[in-house]
Amino acid sequence: MWDWLSRRGRTQKSAKAAELAGDFLQAASLYIEANAGADAARVLLSAAEVECDPKARLLLYARARTIAPARSRELHHVTVSRARYLLLLAPPGVLSPTQRFDLDAAGTDLESIGEHALAAQLYERLGDRNKLEDALEHAGDVDKLAALVREDNISTHEHAHLDRLRSRVNALVDSGLRRDALSLLLQEPRPSLMEQRQRLENDRCLAEQVALEWNGKMRALCFTDELIIGRTDGHVCVPHRAVSHRHGVVRSRPNTGIAYEDAASRNGTYYRGLRLSAPLPITERMELTLGGEVPLSIEPTEEGLWKIEVSSRVIYAAFSSWAPKAVGWSFQRGTDGWLEVHSNADPIFLVTEMGHLELASIVTPLIGDRLARARGGPIVALVRSPS
């Protein structure tokens, strides 16, 4: 017995020396040999606190917990330190399965030593509402429990509000009032509505660039009082060296009608060999030359549009509005630039896989809309992407 106590004393002395020298692992090994589990756990905790590698640090915590005597101060310290470090390793965001397992196990260990408040922090990070409430109840945190109840009430109200808002937006979209639907979404800048808002913004049909398949014929339409032609700027781009960045403008004026005007271009615009120095009224087909090299023709069509052809590209200018003769509709440019379809004599139906839906009297179309003038009737207009 005396020899055993003597050896134990020498071993503990050697462990203390190793601890003072900073060799915590050697000290822990000697303390274990001397049957001093509390001291071994203490130095392993010290080793963990200075360890930079997360995996190695967690292993030291685990070893210290295994060695520490039950209900000891060292076990309490190790359990709390490990839990706080796990929280530090789990920043906001998606947790991995390993992180979730470690946090949950650490929470259970904390509750076993009475650290319910810290356990609640781990369960909150996990998103485990049941365990969070139990931990807060054991911790006696009445204020936090009351806050959770308030959050539940707010969340329920928020979900109900969002459901009503989505129903309202869908009803507006289905009736053709897409501008109103987008306006409603813009008034509610919520992340959960971002996708629907972006879809409406991307699919809206802007009047200055309309690709419309009308009675089976494709039309590139432009609804603007001033249609600009240029090499880089404008509604019609002509990539030719003789054409200026902003070369000419086709204008529509209530008193003077349709006219072409050169926009002070470097190479000018020619009509019948003469360079234009003033606006040229257009009443019939006229052929001009941009920069003396690029042909440009402008002519009225039987459909009530103005056909503009330049550099093998054809665009139809509707200016502010267009009322096709065969259908009791009119197409107009809205004040916000959105194309509008007005029902003058014929109703407007949206053709879907579920059938024909009658729309409002003024429709703001979306790219992909298929429109008919009668329920069950053929498609009259198909809105396509201008690109």
Task: Kindly report the three-state secondary structure assignment for every residue of 1-48.
Answer: CHHHHHHHHHHHHHHHHHHHCCCHHHHHHHHHHCCCHHHHHHHHHHHH
Asked which of 140-154, 267-281, 352-366 is least confident by mean pLDDT, the reply is 140-154
Q: Residues 316-361: pLDDT tens digits?
A: 999 889 998 889 999 999 989 999 999 998 999 999 988 899 999 9
Query: What residue type is 262 in one-letter code?
Result: D
Token digits for 13?
């002395």
- Mean pLDDT, the chain, integer: 88
Please give the DSSP secondary-structure letter assigned to residue 282: -
Measured between alpha carbons, how far is 50 from 88 in angstroms, rounded to an integer?
A: 15
Asked which of 122-126, 152-156, 335-339 is least confident by mean pLDDT, the reply is 152-156
The reported pLDDT for the residue numbered 5 is 45
Task: Provide CB contacts within 8 A for 100, sequence distance 6+.
Answer: 126
Which pTM was predicted? 0.61
Average pLDDT over residues 166-191: 91
User: In the chain, helix, strand, coil percent, each to 5?
Assistant: 45, 25, 30
Q: Residue 90: enclosing H or E segment and its boundaries?
A: none
The reported pLDDT for the residue numbered 307 is 94
Closest by CA to 198, choosing from 210, 207, 189, is: 189
Helices (H), 116-210: 116-126, 129-139, 142-174, 178-186, 194-203
The reported pLDDT for the residue numbered 3 is 45
The reported pLDDT for the residue numbered 4 is 44
Measured between alpha carbons, how far is 45 from 142 in angstroms, rounded to an integer?
A: 33
Q: Residues 201-248: pLDDT tens digits?
A: 999 999 998 999 988 889 899 999 899 999 988 899 999 999 999 999
The number of CA neighbours under 13 Å toward the Cβ of 206 is: 9
